[in-house]
Amino acid sequence: MRPDWRRRAILALCLALLGSSIVGLVLFGFGSGSEPLIVQDVSHSSSAVPVLSDLDIQGSWLKNTTSVALELALHTVEFGTSVVWSDGLSQSIATGSLLLVIGTVSIERKGHERPQKLRDRILDMISNCPGIHLRELHRNIGCAMGALQYHLNNLENDDIVVSMRNGNARHLYLQGFCDDEQVLRLTSLSRNPTVQLVLSECMANGRITQAELSRALSLDKSLVSYYVSSLVKNDILRVVRVFGRERPLILSDWARVSLSSFGLLVQ
């Protein structure tokens, strides 16, 4: 549900609560205009005290006293109920007003904070994972692709983030990470787990053939050949000319330095 719909739902609920409370308060005002409480004077002079021996007078006195007490009790209950009802209405109005203010402010605050938080998450992810491609960033952030592209376009326009295409993939870096396009391409390629394994073996062994890579990494020869061809094309790996059929591979000097300097290999 969008924030606009949530805001409308909360406003409708609060207004309904306030409206019902006001209507109840108005009805209570009309109902409270009943007859005033009349308390009969039950005090008696000494001459009015009944004589216990006179049964008729005693019965009449008890009847009058009982009716006065009952009437007083009924008026007391009615008055107490009215007070409780009035307090309930007042609390309902206060609660509705408080919910109206808190709900509106919280939704507005979330609406303003959400884009800023998403922007910060994007920057943190690119900073921690230089060369990350768009699809991987989308999976890690977990937001809508449209929102992600919107913030990335703004970040690029503000010269905070730079992007570079490698085939169909769009790789992202923070501005100032590196100005060398070769290093940027190496960074983007090293995001691939298989490329990571190939580069790590070449870094550790110095000189290694494709067959040795296939055995060491337990990978199919065709898969190793595919990635090696891409690395050779980008001058990251170089083929050493030797006699015979073997064609050992070594890391180019700039690639070895860059892998060490930027910490691109996962230990």
Contact 152, 163 (CB under 8 A): yes
pLDDT tens sequence across 161-214: 999 988 888 999 999 999 999 999 999 999 999 999 999 999 999 899 999 999
Q: Do 78 and 142 share a domain, yes or no?
A: no
Work out the number of other CB atoms within 10 angstroms of the CB of residue 102. Answer: 12
Is 145 within a domain? yes
Q: Which of 64-73, 88-97, 258-267 has the lowest mean pLDDT?
A: 64-73
> Is the pLDDT assigned to residue 2 strictly greater than 90?
no
Is 72 within a domain? yes
Look up the domain containing 133 and give its range. 129-174
| Closest C-alpha among 86, 77, 81, 75 to residue 26 | 86
**Token duo for residue 25:** 């308060």
Is 50 within a domain? no
Q: Do 7 and 108 share a domain, yes or no?
A: yes
Q: Do 189 and 169 share a domain, yes or no?
A: no
Q: Do 90 and 14 share a domain, yes or no?
A: yes
The amino acid sitting at 22 is I
Work out the number of other CB atoms within 10 angstroms of the CB of residue 264. Answer: 19
State residue 99's pLDDT score: 62
Q: Do 194 and 156 share a domain, yes or no?
A: no
The whole-number average pLDDT for the span 208-235 is 95
The whole-number average pLDDT for the span 87-110 is 60
> Is the pLDDT assigned to residue 44 strictly greater than 50?
no
Q: Do 253 and 206 share a domain, yes or no?
A: yes
State residue 101's pLDDT score: 60
pTM of the model: 0.56
**Token duo for residue 139:** 């999976």
Contact 234, 182 (CB under 8 A): yes
Q: Which of 54-68, 190-204, 208-222, 224-238 has the lowest mean pLDDT?
A: 54-68
> Is the pLDDT assigned to residue 140 strictly greater than 90?
yes
- What share of the chain has pLDDT > 90, as a percent? 48
Is 121 within a domain? no
**Strand-strand pairing, 132-133 and 161-166:** unpaired
Q: Do 105 and 158 share a domain, yes or no?
A: no
Q: Do 79 and 26 share a domain, yes or no?
A: yes
pLDDT tens sequence across 15-41: 777 676 676 666 655 555 544 444 444
Q: Do 200 and 240 share a domain, yes or no?
A: yes
Please name the residues in contact with 237: beta carbons below 8 A apart, sequence gap of 6 or more. Answer: 202, 228, 231, 249, 250, 251, 252, 255
Is 123 within a domain? no
Q: Quick one: pLDDT band at residue 146, thresholds 50, 70, 90?
A: very high
Q: Do 157 and 216 share a domain, yes or no?
A: no
pLDDT tens sequence across 257-267: 999 998 888 75
CATH number at residue 229: 1.10.10.10
> Is the pLDDT assigned to residue 70 strictly greater than 60?
no
Q: Do 160 and 193 share a domain, yes or no?
A: no
Is 53 within a domain? no
State residue 242's pLDDT score: 79
State residue 241's pLDDT score: 84
How many residues in the chain? 267
What is the number of structural domains in the chain? 3
